[in-house]
Structure 1
Amino acid sequence: MVNSQTYASRWLLPVLLTVQFLVSLDMSVVNVALPDIGSGLGFGTESLTWVVNAYALAFGGLLMLGGRLADVVGRRRVLAGGFALFGLASLAGGLAQAPGELVAARAAQGAGAAALAPVALTLITVTYPAGAARSRALGLWGAAGALGGAVGVLAGGLLTDWAGWRAVMLVNVPVVALALPLARLAVPAEDRRPGARPRLDLSGALLVTAGTTLLVLGLVRTETHGWAAWQTAGVLAAAAVLLAAFAVVETRVSQPLLRLGLLTRGPVLAANVFALLMSAGQFAAFYFTSLYLQEVLSYGPTATGCAFLPFCAGVVVGTAVSARAIGRVGAGALLVVGGLLGAVGIAWFAPAVAVDGGFLLSVLGPSAVASVGIGVCFVPLGTAATAGVAPEETGMASGLLNTSRQVGGAVGLGVLVTVAGAHDGAGGAQGLVDGYAAAYWVSAALLVVAALAAGALHGRRTEGALLLGRDGALPAQTPSSENSSKESRERVDPDVSRSTYG
């Protein structure tokens, strides 16, 4: 276990927040630059989507592997390697001269992000002591992610208008050049006892990477091919087979990539179900709001980005509130409250968007409510996802949470684009608005289901719930009849024992 008082430096949290900001930024920064990228490199209409999809596929497919690598080879090595790959890929993308070169660079960026994202959450969990310090760090971590997504839209417009599309790739290079040496300085080398280093489950890594990649691929292509097309059904069926095989393999290896027993912990299960459903609703709502501003209200790229800045402010407010409240009300209650408040805000969009609408009436009010609700959820999500998890498995738990969020976003976008298209009966601007409104209603419903599921699952008297009561005290334990390796895997992180998981 990393001793936070010995090793934590003033540079550690800024480095981890930079990770979260960059990962979120690069999921959205290229979107408004796509027309210029297409004309500049000669992309076809359909192939242009791979500038976005290549990043999403590599990121979503490799998150579980990235999280486990941090446990196996060391967090500082994975963080440094992820930064290096991300920076080199950004440079290669900015210098690309052909469509294939840019798509390959975006895939490499996604692979780097898949190493960075889980290790950032892991380091927060094992470095900052449970209580106010960890809650504050998790709050800032969540705010950095939301800020990165919104700033990505704004920065993409500004950079494309002022410096050309290549700037949206090259902007990462100086950030990484500064963050990489700071990461090596701030993150301690881990002290491992002889023979204690875990092994990488290669068969599980191959299966989950292939399965998750195919799942995300099938979902992101539904807008082009539809759900009934063989291209969609075949890919999703293959993904289901591979992921089922992964689940079987993980029950039979001694050191799995994902120990399925983690999901018997009420807080961990609640966090992942909530993240899956919340991301499905939140990402799609973000997408349709961007379309509404540009396609109906005729906002330009820069103005669209500016319109999302109040959302960033709301997320900061929500995370600050939850960081202060989690010790009193617990993670489960905050997930319920935040999810329901977010649902109210997203539902408000449905009647607010109109052909003759404007920013103040159609966007600002709903954004303010939804963003505060979503912001409230970030601290309890990070807290619950690693509740009672042993230090050597925190990367595993972090990779699982990030995978749930990424897959949830892909599922939500695929489903809700179909919903919007099915309700676009009037045609023209009114048809677009009708479709967006239908998608907002479904998005809000997903957040309601997420809140209810979190309330039901978080308090379950499973292994995790029994180990961690409301006051965080560890109950007396009786000797287990299971073998010592099992006991080692199930041991609770001592720093977690003083936290509160409601």
Structure 2
Amino acid sequence: MSVDVVEVREEKAAHATSLRAVWPAILGLSVVFLVEMLDNSVLNVALPTIGRELGASASALQWITSGYSLLFGGLMVAFGAIADRYGTRRMMLIGLSLFALANLMVLAVTTPGQLIAVRAAIGVTAAMTAPGTMALCFRLFDQENLLMRATSLIATVGLTGMAIGPTVGGLVLAVLPWQTLLVMNVPIALLAIGCIRFGIPADDPAKRNRSPLDLPGALLGTATIILALWTATLAVEQGWNSRSPWLAGAGAVLAAAAFVIQERRTAHPIFDFALLKRPAVSASLAYEAALGLGMAVIGFTVTLQLQLVWGWSPAQAALGNLPQVIVLLAAGPLVEKFVDKVGTQRAAVLGASSFLAGLVVYGLLGRQSYIWIAIALALTAAGMRVVATIAGVTVMRGLPEDQTSIGAAMSDTSQEVASSVGLAVTGTIVAAALGGTLIGVGATPGGIHTFENAVTTATLVLAALCAGLIVWAARRAARTPAPTQVEG
């Protein structure tokens, strides 16, 4: 492609006046986010089948899921820093190509160890693509309202994918082998490659981060996040009576301390901590963390309540989550109008309040009847829809142009780590209350009562933590000047 063509494409993208004008790019980025969210949940429903066909142990099944999430969550910051230096679009295209190849490798899997290796490779390649989704979106528009609209659309696709992942997996398994759940990512990745290759301008060398890559900082930051995520996983799987989560947690603390020391000493840190002093950045990360904490308890316990306590089938339980999916889809087109009417900061507070209200409703009334669970799912989905969009746009606007990829990675990572913490808190409280397996929880009135009390406690504890983060974020965001709206 000639330099003139690239310049024309860059000029066109920078002044796009509608989403339709850059629809291939929006489609490609939406597909990338969709696949990332689906991969977090779609394979879980196939674990029993995988265990039977491959003869996998419980430990191997755990690593099939956690191996992906640990590497995906742990490597995003490092790959975000690399993308800022060597090209966000380039990193996205390389990551998508390797992602397709890694998913295709499942066809050669014959042992649990091989599948764990494939899932780890998929996690690494997904981490290569994740930071670029929002960073590339910000290349397409100058107008704040279009950015909000595009971000809302991309987030709607991804969050809906996360919500319907288990349902999609169950439907596919009814007619096709479990390998299909990974192979179907290949044509999706190829579609995204085509859309991004021809719909987004090439990386501009003049806008890249010119500082050398802090490799020790990247390694220490990655180790910190992976160990933190692993600590939460071990706490849920083995409980705090085991030494493993304590050892992993101690490792995370040591790695974090070494990371901070390295970043303060080096002339070119992988992430400038001074950026966290910017109200827009720190407030947005706090909002993202609150969403992660709250969604952890909802996602973990609602299905258990419906199936183990009320005796719903897996299909009925999947349908029980429809209020969340419906609201996520319906609220997407309304976010921009809502923000425009009440203002960014007030919209964030109102959205976060809706999310918090949903948690409280679920914690206090969810055991009474399904209608309260449906209300809770709707409230949390509406709040998440508004806050996720605002936080995503605001954190990117608060960062220098040559650090947008790592900024997006920090946003995703904060939610990922918070979600793991929320899951660990929920799992710990439920396990401590029951003192045994969850399978027979619905067999006796005493077991049901104990489980429901534990869910209430976990939900309200996490709701309190969310409230603290939301209040802090709202006060912090109040120091941020409102963005100038450009009508288009």
TM-score of the alignment, normalized to the shorter chain, above 0.5 = yes
Aligned to 1:432: 451
Aligned to 1:386: 396
How far apart are the structure 1 equivalents of 2:465 and 2:166? Answer: 24
Check the 8 A contact 1:327/1:499 in 2, yes or no: no
Aligned to 2:423: 413
Check the 8 A contact 2:78/2:218 in 1, yes or no: yes
How far apart are the structure 1 equivalents of 2:279 and 2:454? Answer: 37
Aligned to 1:216: 229
- Give the counterpart of 2:482 among 461, 465, 470: 470
**Change over 3 Å in CA distance of 1:99–1:234 after alignment to 2:** same
**Change over 3 Å in CA distance of 1:301–1:91 after alignment to 2:** farther
How far apart are the structure 1 equivalents of 2:182 and 2:147? Answer: 32
3-state SS in 1 of match to 2:303: helix
How far apart are the structure 2 equivalents of 1:177 and 1:305? Answer: 29
Aligned to 1:489: none
Indicate the larger mover: 128-137 or 186-195.
186-195
Unaligned runs of 5+ in 2: 1-6, 436-444
Query: Structure 2 matches for 1:119-198, cutoff 5 A?
Result: 119-193=132-206, 197-198=210-211
How far apart are the structure 1 equivalents of 2:130 and 2:56? Answer: 30
Q: C-alpha deviations, 1:317-348, integer Å up to 9, x for none?
A: 34433322334444332222111111111221
Check the 8 A contact 2:51/2:61 in 1, yes or no: yes
- Give the counterpart of 1:448 among 439, 448, 467: 467
Q: C-alpha deviations, 1:180-220, integer Å up to 9, x for none?
A: 22221122212224997443221111111111111111111
CA offset at residue 358 of structure 1? 5.6
Check the 8 A contact 1:342/1:447 in 2, yes or no: no
Aligned to 1:396: 406
Aligned to 2:261: 248
Aligned to 1:79: 92
How far apart are the structure 2 equivalents of 1:367 and 1:243? Answer: 35
CA offset at residue 21 of structure 1? 0.9
Segments of 4+ moved more than 6 angstroms:
none
Check the 8 A contact 1:274/1:453 in 2, yes or no: no
**Change over 3 Å in CA distance of 1:430–1:47 after alignment to 2:** farther
- Give the counterpart of 1:324 among 337, 358, 362: 337
TM-score (normalised: structure 1): 0.87
Q: C-alpha deviations, 1:226-259, integer Å up to 9, x for none?
A: 2343211111111111112112222233332111
- Give the counterpart of 1:293 among 285, 293, 306: 306
Check the 8 A contact 2:235/2:245 in 1, yes or no: yes
How far apart are the structure 1 equivalents of 2:254 and 2:291? Answer: 26
- Give the counterpart of 1:59 among 61, 68, 72: 72
Q: C-alpha deviations, 1:58-92, integer Å up to 9, x for none?
A: 01110101211221111121111111222222222
Aligned to 1:114: 127
Aligned to 1:309: 322
Check the 8 A contact 2:84/2:209 in 1, yes or no: no
- Give the paired residue count: 465
TM-score (normalised: structure 2): 0.89
How far apart are the structure 2 equivalents of 1:35 and 1:269? Answer: 41
How far apart are the structure 2 equivalents of 1:11 and 1:186? Answer: 5
Check the 8 A contact 2:292/2:422 in 1, yes or no: yes
Check the 8 A contact 2:429/2:454 in 1, yes or no: yes
Establish whether residue 457 from structure 1 lines up as the match of residue 476 from structure 2: yes
CA offset at residue 396 of structure 1? 1.7
Check the 8 A contact 1:78/1:115 in 2, yes or no: yes
Establish whether residue 374 from structure 1 lines up as the match of residue 384 from structure 2: yes
Aligned to 1:200: 213
How far apart are the structure 2 equivalents of 1:436 and 1:310? Answer: 20
How far apart are the structure 2 equivalents of 1:88 and 1:297? Answer: 42
How far apart are the structure 2 equivalents of 1:427 and 1:56? Answer: 35
How far apart are the structure 1 equivalents of 2:486 and 2:426? Answer: 38
Check the 8 A contact 2:60/2:116 in 1, yes or no: no
Q: Which amino acid aligns with 1:470?
A: A
Check the 8 A contact 2:145/2:486 in 1, yes or no: no
Establish whether residue 9 from structure 1 lines up as the match of residue 22 from structure 2: yes
**Change over 3 Å in CA distance of 1:85–1:309 after alignment to 2:** farther
Q: C-alpha deviations, 1:266-315, integer Å up to 9, x for none?
A: 01001112211220111221121122222223333333333223212212
How far apart are the structure 1 equivalents of 2:384 and 2:193? Answer: 30
Check the 8 A contact 1:94/1:167 in 2, yes or no: no
Check the 8 A contact 2:281/2:395 in 1, yes or no: yes
How far apart are the structure 2 equivalents of 1:208 and 1:119? Answer: 19
**Change over 3 Å in CA distance of 1:254–1:213 after alignment to 2:** same
**Change over 3 Å in CA distance of 1:471–1:259 after alignment to 2:** closer
CA RMSD of aligned residues (A): 2.3
Aligned identity (percent) is: 29
Q: C-alpha deviations, 1:475-500, integer Å up to 9, x for none?
A: xxxxxxxxxxxxxxxxxxxxxxx579
Q: Which amino acid aligns with 2:125?
A: G
How far apart are the structure 2 equivalents of 1:262 and 1:163? Answer: 48
CA offset at residue 427 of structure 1? 4.9
**Change over 3 Å in CA distance of 1:196–1:428 after alignment to 2:** closer
Unaligned runs of 5+ in 1: 473-497
Aligned to 1:488: none
Q: C-alpha deviations, 1:154-173, integer Å up to 9, x for none?
A: 11111122213222222212
Check the 8 A contact 2:430/2:454 in 1, yes or no: yes
